[in-house]
Structure 1
Amino acid sequence: MMQLDHAGPLRYRIEHLRDRLAREEISELGVRIEMRGSGILLWGTVTTPACRDAILRIAAQELAGLPWRQDLQVGGVQPPHHRPEELS
């Protein structure tokens, strides 16, 4: 009995999503896109909620009809809010 390879179309769609994210003005290097079982996982850290929303919008367009999930976290890029240590 011949088994169908469902990984091929998933890999193609993953690469297409990677290409599109690279072309858009998002430039988030902390986003990973991987095959997990029979679906796709987007995970990593982004700089702002707006950036996360843009990535999820693009992913929804590019991965329409495929099972996918996300675990994108917004990381802080603000300087710490404490005084510098005083050395004497």
Structure 2
Amino acid sequence: MSTPVHVEYRVARLQQLLAGGPFAELGLRVEFRGDVVLLSAVVSSPAAREHLLRTIAAELDGLDVHSDIALADMAAPDHPEQVP
């Protein structure tokens, strides 16, 4: 098991890789709960989600990681917004 300092270093490297990667992912939220790393983000495409999951798996290999990576709804609205 990695010590918390090593985990934080690995997560910081992950965030650096994602920010400079092809999708420039800056919205990754990271929490540590005991021995578990919780990651959450909202991405714009399935390709971005797959890239994010592959990068997380490679960089945090050996850690107990729980990921919640959602896709943003990029569809055009189908009706006008009703403002009261």
- Over 3 Å counting, the alpha-carbon distance change for 1:50 and 1:27 in structure 2 is same
Q: Any conservation in 2 of the 1:46–1:75 contact (CA below 8 Å)?
A: yes
The match for 2:46 is 49
Counterpart residue identity of residue 19, structure 2: A
In the alignment, structure 1 residue 65 sits paired with structure 2 residue 66: no
Structure 2 unaligned segments of length 5 or more: list them.
none
Most deviating of 24-33 and 51-60: 24-33
The match for 2:32 is 35
Q: Any conservation in 1 of the 2:18–2:26 contact (CA below 8 Å)?
A: no
* TM-score, structure 2 as length reference: 0.83
CA positional deviation for 1:36: 2.2
* TM-score, structure 1 as length reference: 0.79
Identity %: 38
Q: Any conservation in 2 of the 1:46–1:73 contact (CA below 8 Å)?
A: yes
Q: Secondary structure at the match of 2:23?
A: coil
- 2-side partners of 1:29 and 1:15: how far apart? 12
Larger radius of gyration: 1
Q: Secondary structure at the match of 1:72?
A: strand
Superposition misfits of 4+ residues, deviation over 6 angstroms: none
Structure 1 unaligned segments of length 5 or more: list them.
none
Match of 2:6 among 9, 29, 32: 9
CA positional deviation for 1:17: 0.4
